[in-house]
Amino acid sequence: MQEGRIDSSDSTYGPAVDSDKCTYDENQTQKTILVGDSGVGKTSLLVQYDQGKFIPGSFTSTVGISFTNKVVDVDNLKVKLQIWDTAGQERFRSVTHAYYRDAQALLLIYDITNKPSFDNIRAWLTEIHEYAQKDVVIMLLGNKSDMAAERVVKTEEGEKLAKECGIPFMETSAKTGVNIELAFQAVAKELKHRATQQPNDPKFKIHEYIDSQKHKSGCCKQA
């Protein structure tokens, strides 16, 4: 794929949900962007969510930007997530910046076995605050949680950073599917509530939702 090229198909990575067979409000199409250093597993994470499988060793670094559509059922409403996979390399930053502006959600990803990818999170956040909408939903994900023996970033470090920045956090595994479904479902619920909430409706609390779902399922592995 050429730099900056956008595929018009439903999925760059294979068959997506057949959204034609789902009833959803087109106004609820929500642009969600995966952001982070090259090699943190953004593409694998998206393929796991989209297709429910892990394809080891099959991806080279994303060039430019590509997307897939996924329809999520949130409280009996179909929400269409348009999920964009971005290149983490410095030479593609200007391409990525252009897509921040109309994004409703950003999933900021680091690799728990790669300390520099975690250290760079603050730089990514600076870019997000500069280019994205003020009310964009941001979630921090520590990926590759299955690689415990190679871990160099403690869970507590991710939790501390997320708390400092006021954003939700969880660790994920694109290989096993742990917390992948929960991450996107939580984002979809937050976006749905923002779009449909009436003045007197209680505010959706994404941190509490994530905690309750983790407690309920134990491991939150994707089915």
Assign 3-class secondary structure to 167-212.
CCEEECCCCCCECHHHHHHHHHHHHHHHHHCCCCCCCCCHHHHHHH
Q: Is residue 11 part of a domain?
A: no
pLDDT of residue 95: 61
What is the phi-psi region of residue 68: left when phi exceeds 0, alpha when psi lies from -120 to 50, beta otherwise? Answer: beta
Q: Which SS3 state, helix, strand or coil, does residue 71 take?
A: strand
Q: Which CATH number fits the domain that encloses residue 109?
A: 3.40.50.300
pLDDT tens track, the chain, 223 positions? 333 333 333 444 343 444 444 444 555 689 999 999 999 999 999 999 999 988 876 555 544 567 899 999 998 889 999 999 886 555 556 666 778 889 999 999 999 999 999 999 999 999 999 999 999 999 999 999 999 999 999 999 999 999 999 999 999 999 999 999 999 999 999 999 998 888 888 889 999 999 999 878 764 444 4
Q: Is residue 79 part of a domain?
A: yes
The CA distances from residue 62 to 4, 17, 86, 96, 146, in Å, are: 11, 22, 7, 12, 22
Give the integer Cα–Cα distance in Å for 47 and 166. Answer: 28
pLDDT of residue 125: 96
CA-nearest of 48, 41, 42, 38 to 14 is 48
pLDDT of residue 9: 38
- Domain span including residue 208: 19-217
Q: Is residue 8 part of a domain?
A: no
Sign of CA dihedral 70, 71, 73, 74: positive
Bridge partners (DSSP) of residue 79 are 72
The CA distances from residue 204 to 41, 162, 173, in Å, are: 29, 18, 26
Secondary-structure percent of the chain, ordered helix, strand, coil, rounded to 5: 40, 20, 40
Give the integer Cα–Cα distance in Å for 99 and 135. Answer: 15
pLDDT of residue 58: 52
pLDDT of residue 18: 42
DSSP state of 40: S
pLDDT of residue 93: 60
pLDDT of residue 114: 98
Number of domains observed in the structure of the chain: 1
Q: Is residue 106 part of a domain?
A: yes
Q: Is residue 6 part of a domain?
A: no
pLDDT of residue 25: 56
Bridge partners (DSSP) of residue 66 are 85
pLDDT of residue 13: 38
Q: Which two tokens stand for residue 7?
A: 């595929």
Q: Is residue 156 part of a domain?
A: yes
pLDDT of residue 90: 52
CA-nearest of 37, 42, 35, 45 to 100 is 35
pLDDT of residue 220: 45
Q: Is residue 4 part of a domain?
A: no
